[in-house]
Amino acid sequence: MYDLKISGGLLVDGTGDPPRPADVATVGDTIVAVGTDLPGDAARTIDATGQIVTPGFVDVHTHYDGQATWDDLLEPSSGHGITTVVMGNCGVGFAPVRPGTQEWLIQLMEGVEDIPGAALSEGIDWGWESFGEYLDALDDRRWAIDVGTQVPHGAVRAYVMGERGARNEPADADEIARMERIVAEAVSAGALGVSTSRTLAHRAMDGEPVPGTFAAEDELFGLGRGLRDGGGGVFELAPVGSAGEDIVKPRSEVEWMRRLSAAIGQPVSFALLQVPAAPDLWRELMEVSLQAAEEGAELYPQVAGRPFGLLAGWQTSHPFVKRPSYRAIEHLDIDERIERLRDPAVRAAICSEADGERRGGMHEGVSMLVARMLDQLYVLGDPPDYEPTPDRSIPAVAAAAGVPMQEAAYDAFCAEDGRALLMVPLFNYVDGNHDVIREQLTHSRAVMGLSDGGAHCGLICDASMPTTMISHWTRDRSRGERLPLEWVVRKQSQDTAALFGLNDRGVVVPGKRADLNVIDHAAINLRMPRLVHDLPAGGRRLLQHADGYTATIVAGQQTRDAGLDTGARPGRLVRGHRAA
C-alpha cells in the first residue's frame, strides 16, 4: 500500500524527456513507482487529471541564512514549487563568528542583501561559533522545504583576520592556511560549497566592500583547496563586473576561475548578467566557459529567467521621496498616505517641487537611482509582465498622455489602489531586448540561479522566478519563442540539483526523494508583489504569491494545497552531497 498516489497527470519528470501520462506513488519520503494505471491502493490520492506533475524545484541562489533560524515556512520560495534551497551565496552569512562580532555580520548582510538589520538582530538566536555549530543549530530546525548552505568567505576572513580581514587587507600565508582549514572543516561538516564576492556593488552598511572582494589569487585558491579537501562542492561567486562596475576585468576573472576549477577538480559557478556598459560581454564569458569545459574545467554561469530589476512604488522606493510635500505625509500609514497622494492638490505640489535636502540611507539612495532612470521605468501591471513592451515604458505612457515623465510615473504609482509597482530593469534588458535572456538560458553551460530568495526584501522579489519559467517561457510567449516545458522543468530541477551534488532529487523516478509538484499549467500565474511587515521587529519585505500550484510535496508530505500552507514541516538541513 502506498502512502501517496498522484494519478491521472501528465508527468514532466525532470530528465528532459517529453511529457507522458503517468501516475506517481510514494512510500515515506521516497518515490517507489512511476507508470500508467499503477496497481495498489494508497492512503491518499491526488487527482492530477488535466495537470502536470514535476519534480520539486531546486533554487541554488538564496539568502535565507538568518531567516532559516527563526522561520519554518521560508516564503516567498516555498510558494513557487521550490522544495530545496541553497543559501550562503555571495560570500555573506552568519558563521563562523567570533563572540561579540555578531552585529558586524548582521550589518554586512543588511548592506549586501538588503535584509533589515533589526529583523536579523531580533530574529537570530545566536548559539554557535564555528560553521559546524551553525549547521547543528540548523539541524534542529524543521521547515516546509529542505535547506542547504555554503560557507561564506566574508565570515571566514573576518573570523581569521579580525579587523584586517574586514578592511580587506591582504592575508598572509598563515592566515590563508587557517581559512583553508576552516573551509575544509565546514565542507566536511556538510557545507555544499564555499562562496565569495568580488563585486564593488556588495558593501556592508559602513560602505566597506565584502571581506575578500580584493583577495589575491593565493587566497582564492586556498579556499578552493579547502573545498576539495573537505569532500568537494561548488565554488560560487559574484565576480568583478557582475554589477557593471568594470567592463574589462571579467575576462581575467574567468581565467582564474578556469584555472581554479581545473586545479581542484570542482565546479565554479558565477553570476552572469547583461550589463548596460558592455551589453555583449556576457556572450564572451559564456564562450570562455565552453572552452574551459573542453580543457577539463567546470565553469557554470548562473543566469536569471527574467530581467534583474528594482520594483518601485509608494511602498518601496520612488523618485519623489525627497520632495517636501511628500515628506510631510510620509509618516502616515500606507492607506492614508495613498489617499493623500491621490489628491490632485498634493499631486500638483509634489510634481512641481524640487528635491529637498538629502537625509541618506539605502532606500533614499535607491529612490534617487529610480529618479535618474525614469526613461527606463516600465509599468509592471497586474498580472506582472517581466518582459514589458515599449508601450509600457514611462516615456511612452507620458507621450500618450501628453504629460511629463515624472507626472506619468506619479500617476502609474497611484494605480491599483496605490499599490502599483513599476520595474527598473537594471540588467538583462538593455534597450528592452527580449532575446538576451532566452539566449542565456539556452546556453549549454548556463545554470538557473540569481533568484536571491530571502534578500533585497524591499526592492526585489525574484524568488518567484520558477513560476515565471513555467508560465511565461513555456506558455505565454509567442509560439516560436517558447521553450519546451520538459526543458524548463529540467533546468530548475535535475540540473540545479546535480550542480550541488544533490543526486537524490530533481527527477521523478523510483528511488528518488518524493519532492513533487502538481501544477495546473493552464492556470499558473504570478500575483502582484505586496509589501508586508511580518519579519521580526516589524521588518518589511515583498511577498509574491502564485495561482496554479495544486499541490507541493516535500519528502512525501504535502506542504501546499491549492497554494496554501498545510502546516507540514518535513524540510531538513541537507548536509553534503547526496548519492543517486
* pLDDT at site 346: 98
Q: HEC profile for 242-298?
A: CCCCCCCHHHHHHHHHHHHHHHHCCCEEEECCCECCECCHHHHHHHHHHHHHHCCCC
User: For residue 485, what are the domain limits?
Assistant: 58-306+430-499
Look at strands 447-448 and 57-59 and give their pairing: unpaired
In a domain, 30, yes or no: no
Give the model's confidence band at 577: pLDDT under 50 very low, under 70 low, under 90 confident, else very high. confident
Is 580 a residue whose pLDDT tops 80? no
Banded pLDDT at 215 (limits 50, 70, 90):
very high
Q: Report the pLDDT averaged over residues 283-296.
A: 89
Rounded to 5 degrees, what are φ and ψ at 271? Answer: -65, 135
| Type of residue at 502 | L
User: Percent of the chain having pLDDT more than 90?
Assistant: 86
- Using the predicted structure, report yes or no on whether residue 361 has a pLDDT greater than 80: no
Q: What angle (nearest 5°) sits at the alpha carbon of residue 543, between those of residues 475 and 378?
A: 60
Same domain, 402 and 253: no
Gap between the Cα atoms of 25 and 33, Å rounded: 5
Mean pLDDT for 250-255 is 82
CATH code: domain of residue 473: 3.20.20.140
Q: Same domain for 270 and 368?
A: no
Residues 121-139 as b/e (b if ≥16 CB within 10 A, e otherwise) read bebbebebebbbebbebbe
Higher pLDDT, 537 or 295: 537
pLDDT of residue 123 exceeding 70: yes
The answer, yes or no, to whether residue 434 has pLDDT greater than 90, is no
Predicted local distance difference test score (pLDDT) of residue 278: 86
Q: Is the pLDDT higher at 219 or at 294?
A: 219
455 and 401 housed in the same domain? no
Residue type, 544: Q
pLDDT (tens digit per residue) in 108-120: 999 999 999 999 9
Task: Give the residue among 418, 414, 374, 416 at the shortest CA–CA distance from 396.
Answer: 374
Of 532, 560, 534, residue with least CA distance to 67: 534
Residues facing 87 on adjacent strands: 149
What is the side-by-side order of every strand in the sheet holding 30-35? 30-35, 23-27, 2-7, 42-47
Provide the CB-side half-sphere exposure for 276 (13 A, CA).
13
Q: Are 580 and 30 in contact (CB under 8 A)?
A: no
Three-state secondary structure readout of 432-476: HCCHHHHHHHCCCCCEECCCCECCCCCCCCCCCHHHHHHHHHHHH
pLDDT of residue 574: 98
CA distance 316 to 313: 5
pLDDT, tens digit (0-9, with 9 covering 90-100), for 505-554? 999 999 999 999 999 999 999 999 999 999 999 999 999 999 999 999 99
Residue with cell 501546499: 560
Classified as helix, coil or strand, 504 is coil
pLDDT value at residue 301: 96
326 within some domain: yes
Which of 499, 526, 545 marks a domain boundary?
Answer: 499
d(CA 16, CA 509): 13
Length of the chain: 580
Question: What is the number of other CB atoms lying within 10 angstroms of the CB of residue 216?
Answer: 11
Q: Grid coordinates standing for 222?
A: 586556498
C-alpha distances in angstroms, 533 versus 315, 363, 415, 457? 11, 16, 22, 10
Question: Grid coordinates in use for 280?
Answer: 555583449
d(CA 386, CA 468): 8
Minimum mean pLDDT range among 67-71, 72-76, 368-372: 368-372
Cis-peptide into 170, omega within 30 deg: no
In a domain, 112, yes or no: yes
Stretch 65-76: mean pLDDT? 98
Looking at the structure, tell me whether residues 466 and 410 fall in a common domain.
no
Question: Is the overall model pTM greater than 0.85, yes or no?
Answer: yes
What does the pLDDT read at residue 108?
96
Residues 190 and 134 in one domain: yes
3-state secondary structure (DSSP) of residue 36: coil
Classify residue 34: in a domain, yes or no: no
For the chain, give the mean pLDDT.
95
Predicted pLDDT at 245: 60
Kindly indicate the confidence band of residue 244, based on its pLDDT and cuts at 50, 70 and 90: low
- Poorest-pLDDT segment among 82-86, 370-374, 448-452: 370-374
| Residues 222, 195 share a domain | yes
* 578 is a domain residue: no
Mean pLDDT value across residues 379-390: 93
Are residues 294 and 360 part of one domain?
A: no
Q: Half-sphere exposure (CA, 13 Å, Cβ side) for 3?
A: 13
**219's grid cell:** 587566497
- pLDDT at site 243: 66
Mean pLDDT across 418-442: 91
Report the DSSP pairing between strands 308-312 and 516-519. unpaired
Do 154 and 253 lie in one domain? The reply is: yes
Asked whether residue 242 carries a pLDDT value surpassing 80, the answer given is no
Residue where a domain stops, chosen among 499, 522, 557: 499
Residue 208 lies in a domain: yes
| Residue type (1 letter), 230 | G
Residue 396, CA distances (Å) to 276, 438, 474 in order: 21, 25, 29
Total number of domains constituting the chain: 2
Contacts with 39 (C-beta within 8 Å, 6 or more apart), sequence order: none
Lowest mean pLDDT among 36-45, 105-114, 432-441: 432-441
38 within domain boundaries: no
Same domain? 210 vs 352: no
Write down which residue in 453, 478, 499 finishes a domain. Answer: 499
Is the CB of residue 288 less than 8 Å from the CB of residue 239? no
244 and 139 in one domain?
yes
Looking at the structure, tell me whether residues 163 and 277 fall in a common domain. yes
**Rounded to an integer, what distance in angstroms lies between the CA atom of residue 574 and that of residue 85?**
9
Cell numbers representing residue 173 in the block: 600565508
**Are 208 and 67 in a shared domain?**
yes
Across the range 70-90, mean pLDDT stands at: 98
Please report the pLDDT score of residue 305 as a whole number: 96
Give every CB contact of residue 313 below 8 A, 6+ residues apart in sequence. Answer: 413, 419, 420, 421, 422
CB of 426 within 8 A of CB of 410?
A: no
Mean pLDDT, range 328-344, rounded to an integer: 95
Examine the pLDDT at 246 and tell me if it is beyond 80: no
Helix (H) or strand (E) holding 59: strand 57-59
Give a yes or no: residue 33 inside a domain. no
| HEC string for 63-131 | CCCCHHHCCCCCCCHHHCCEEEEEECCCCCCCCCCCCCCHHHHHHHHHHHHCCCHHHHHHHCCCCCCCH
β-bridge mates for residue 163, sequence order? none
Please give the pLDDT value at position 206: 86
